[in-house]
Amino acid sequence: MNKLALGEVVEAMLIGSGEAVSIDQMRRAIVDVGEIEGGVAKLNERIGKVIKELQAACDGRPFELFDTAAGFRYVTRAQYAPFISSLKGQKPPTYSRATLETLAVIAWRQPVTRGDIEQIRGVRLNSSILRALLDRDWIRITGHKETPGRPALYATTRAFLDNFGLKSLDELPDADELLTDRVQEGLLK
């Protein structure tokens, strides 16, 4: 087998895996297979440089190279979504207000118990909502609160960050900034 150029190998892995891939995962695969031009010295650094080049090469193309919590992933740009949805013949799922609010409480206030969610929203929480979010792999149980009944504590997952194109939870907008000025200033007076 001829030695292969790192650039093409990284591009092939990114476009061929169909999932987000981290630099570390790519380095391991390359070390595992070998046969790379320039050997395996300083691989992480070199892969990082290739990724920068690939990102730049997306300019003017209908796809881009995303950097999320789970790694790097090629995705088509938003303006082409209607065509792909139409091709697949299925509408993207929409989520109810109750589901989105539950997810928001978990994302912004994690880790939280079911009781915390009910307390903040002021209504009982239907179990199927947590179930659907667990099923979607957007939330997970991270432990149990040491209070009577040891209720489960929920937090968001890496897949959640990956799905929303986030690198970390810090990228979520600050909750206080989301408040309208009127409530912010007015209510307490």
Partner 1 sequence: MDTQLSEAAIARVRGVNLSEFPTDLYVPPEALRVFLDSFEGPLDLLLYLIRKHDFDILEISVSKVTDQYLQYINLMDHLDIYLAGEYLAMAATLAAIKSRMLLPLVATEDDEEDDPRAEIVRRLREFERIKRAAETLDEMPRLEREYFPAFATSRAPENQPLPEVDMRALMSAFSDVLLRARYREHHEMTPEVLSVSERMADILARVASAKRFVPFVALFELQEGRLGVVVTFLAITQLLQLGRVNVVQRGSFAPLYVTAAGCE
Q: Can you give the binding site for partner 1, defined by CB under 8 A?
A: 12, 15-19, 63, 66, 73-78, 80-82, 84-85, 88, 92-95, 97-98, 100-101, 103-105, 107-109, 120-124, 126-127, 131, 136, 162-165, 172-173, 175-176, 178-189
Nearer to a copy of itself, 129 or 161 (CB): 129
CA-CA distance, 115 to 145, in Å (whole number)?
Answer: 11
- 27 lies in the site for a copy of itself, by CB under 8 A: no
Does the protein bind a copy of itself through residue 83 (CB under 8 A)? yes
Which of 170, 182 has the CB closer to partner 1? Answer: 182
Place of tokens 């209908």: 62
- Cβ burial of 30 (10 Å; 0-12, 13-18, 19+) is buried
Minimum CB distance to partner 1, residue 45 (Å): 26
Contact in structure between 36 and 4 (CB atoms under 8 Å): yes
Q: Judged by CB under 8 A, how many residues of this single chain contact a copy of itself?
A: 52
Contact between 122 and a copy of itself per CB under 8 A: yes
Binding site for a copy of itself (CB under 8 A): 1-2, 4, 8-9, 11-13, 15-18, 21, 25-26, 28-30, 32-33, 35, 61-63, 74-77, 79-80, 82-84, 86-88, 90, 96-98, 121-124, 126-128, 131-132, 134-135, 137
